[in-house]
């Protein structure tokens, strides 16, 4: 293998480039990214950066010594539009064709939005998104957040801290119930009420009002919420359109085996766009930690030309809302039982364990990082990385 293209220059793509060099690859690396920025840290975008406590320079993931060590050809502000697996050519939106014999797909995901969005309506995925949103967050303004998932809740928390009046609209009857179950979802939801944020559950959005600027959000039950700024946080879809006709199997992401290898041995996928084979079926993990850790396994298999290792790390993510730190690790399903093993939800400090047939499957903690870390390590100790 003489040349590898990494399509996607965020955390997962940057880690893939670092792993290529760390694992001995001395050929050409092409790093293609549709944003004009070098890799940066995304989690602060909804928190400290949005609150004005950090600037873009504080988010950089790639320092000058790291850039020199990786020695990649950077193609930033360029979007991949097609892939030809017959000759290994990636076509970019400016007509450039990159010829390679190995590829890492790390194109991430795009936020879902609503139709007919006037100015003042935002999604939050990129640095430029966060910059635009930050300019609209003025004390006393009325913010409506559509979606009470982790990103929506973090944005609501930041808006409240900045002195905005905040209403959160959620389609589910209990926010996050599909992730942490209805009981703990209700605990997370109560954080909004604790901080004078209005939460409307079981509510859908009918349309957005305003022509030159958003003025209100109309719900399906007829309720009209005045709004000076609106943030849409209703999930994301994997960026796979450019792979149409390429021969790479796509279904809710790029389909991979347990080692990140696609149906083509010289193509691997990592990060939000990758749908990995797991004991619980095909899954995409839109978590910072997964994007950090997956590339080591995928690059090993890319260079080996076969699936020699499996990625079996326990999924982990965290969220900071209204001063509370929420941490979650593992795979929880609706059939799992849940028990509080330390603290009390009403105190907003506890650890909960999910289990199935007396086997721990996941753990969630609020404001209890020390005990959470102990349980997370126990989950990780059961995880191995097969080699063969």
- The residue behind tokens 């990103």 is 151
- Cα 148 to Cα 35: distance, rounded to the nearest angstrom: 27
Q: Where are the domains of the chain?
A: 3-110+237-304, 113-232, 323-381
Judged against a pLDDT cut of 60, whether residue 163 lies above it is answered with yes
- Cα 132 to Cα 181: distance, rounded to the nearest angstrom: 34
What confidence score (pLDDT) does residue 174 get? 96
List pLDDT tens digits, range 16-45.
999 999 999 999 999 999 999 999 999 999
What confidence score (pLDDT) does residue 384 get? 47
Which of 284, 281, 280, 275 is closest to 256 using CA atoms? 275
DSSP assignments along 59-105, one per residue: GB---HHHHHHH-PEEEET--EEEEETTTTEEEETTS-EEE-SEEEE
What confidence score (pLDDT) does residue 325 get? 97
What confidence score (pLDDT) does residue 385 get? 41
Vertex 168 angle, CA 167 and 173, to 5°: 135
Q: Cα–Cα distances in Å, from 105 out to 26, 191, 248?
A: 20, 37, 10
What confidence score (pLDDT) does residue 173 get? 96
What confidence score (pLDDT) does residue 334 get? 84
Judged against a pLDDT cut of 50, whether residue 160 lies above it is answered with yes
Instruction: Average the pLDDT over 96-108 and give the result.
Output: 96
Has domain 323-381 been given CATH number 3.20.20.80?
no
Continuous H helices in 143-260:
150-161, 177-194
Does 113-232 match 3-110+237-304 at the fold level?
yes
List pLDDT tens digits, range 250-267.
999 999 999 999 999 999
Q: Roughly how many angstroms between the first and final C-alpha of the chain, as a whole number?
A: 21
Identify the three-state secondary structure at position 107: coil
- Cα 244 to Cα 84: distance, rounded to the nearest angstrom: 10
Query: Taking the CB of residue 370, how many other CB atoms lie within 10 A of it?
Result: 9
Q: With 0.85 as the threshold, say if the pTM is over it.
A: yes
DSSP state of 25: -
What confidence score (pLDDT) does residue 383 get? 58
List pLDDT tens digits, range 33-91.
999 999 999 999 999 999 999 999 999 999 999 999 999 999 999 999 999 988 889 99
Residue 150 token pair: 């982790």
CATH topology of domain 113-232: FAD/NAD(P)-binding domain (3.50.50)
List pLDDT tens digits, range 225-259.
999 999 999 999 999 999 999 999 999 999 999 99
What confidence score (pLDDT) does residue 273 get? 98
Residue 89 token pair: 């050519």
Name, in order, each residue with C-beta under 8 angstroms of 364's C-beta and a sequence gap of 6 or more: 180, 184, 326, 327, 328, 351, 352, 354
Strand 121-122 relative to strand 229-232, pairing? parallel
Q: Are 43 and 50 in contact (CB under 8 A)?
A: no
What confidence score (pLDDT) does residue 386 get? 41
Identify the three-state secondary structure at position 3: strand
Instruction: Average the pLDDT over 141-168 and give the result.
Output: 98
Q: Which helix (H) or strand (E) holds 290?
A: helix 288-304
Residue 23 token pair: 């694992």
pLDDT band at 332 (very low <50, low <70, confident <90, very high): confident
What confidence score (pLDDT) does residue 280 get? 78
Homologous superfamily, domain 3-110+237-304: FAD/NAD(P)-binding domain (3.50.50.60)
């Amino acid at each position: 293998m003489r040349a590898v293209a990494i399509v996607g220059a965020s955390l997962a793509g940057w880690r893939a480039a670092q792993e290529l060099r760390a694992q001995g690859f001395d050929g050409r690396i092409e790093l293609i990214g549709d944003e004009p920025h070098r890799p940066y840290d995304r989690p602060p975008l909804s928190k400290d950066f949005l609150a004005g406590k950090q600037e873009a320079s504080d988010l950089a993931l790639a320092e000058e010594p790291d850039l020199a060590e990786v020695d990649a050809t950077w193609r930033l502000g360029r979007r991949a539009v097609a892939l030809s697996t017959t000759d290994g050519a990636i076509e970019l939106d400016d007509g450039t064709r990159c010829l390679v014999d190995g590829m890492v797909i790390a194109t991430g995901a795009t936020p879902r939005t609503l139709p007919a969005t006037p100015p003042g309506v935002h999604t939050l995925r990129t640095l430029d998104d966060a910059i635009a949103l930050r300019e609209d967050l003025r004390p006393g303004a009325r913010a409506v957040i559509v979606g009470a998932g982790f990103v929506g809740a973090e944005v609501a928390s930041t808006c409240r801290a900045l002195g905005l009046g905040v209403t959160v609209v959620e389609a589910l009857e209990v926010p996050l119930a599909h992730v942490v179950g209805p009981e703990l979802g209700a605990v997370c939801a109560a954080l909004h009420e604790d901080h004078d944020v209005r939460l409307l559950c079981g509510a859908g959005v009918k349309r957005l009002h305003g022509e030159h600027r958003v003025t209100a959000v109309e719900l399906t039950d007829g309720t009209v919420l005045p709004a000076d700024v609106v943030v849409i946080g209703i999930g994301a879809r994997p960026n796979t359109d450019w792979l149409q006709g390429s021969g790479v199997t796509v279904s809710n992401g790029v389909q991979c085996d347990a080692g990140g290898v696609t149906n083509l041995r010289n193509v691997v996928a990592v990060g939000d766009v990758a749908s990995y084979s797991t004991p619980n079926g095909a899954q995409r993990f839109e978590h910072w930690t997964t994007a950090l850790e997956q590339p080591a396994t995928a690059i090993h298999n890319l260079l080996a030309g076969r699936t020699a290792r499996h990625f079996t790390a326990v999924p982990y993510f965290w969220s900071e809302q209204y001063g509370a730190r929420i941490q979650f690790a593992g795979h929880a399903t609706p059939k799992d039982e849940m028990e509080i093993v330390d603290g009390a939800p009403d105190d907003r400090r506890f650890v909960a364990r999910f289990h199935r047939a007396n086997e721990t499957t996941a753990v969630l903690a609020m404001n209890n990082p020390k005990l959470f870390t102990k349980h997370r390590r126990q989950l990780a100790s059961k995880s191995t990385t097969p080699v063969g």
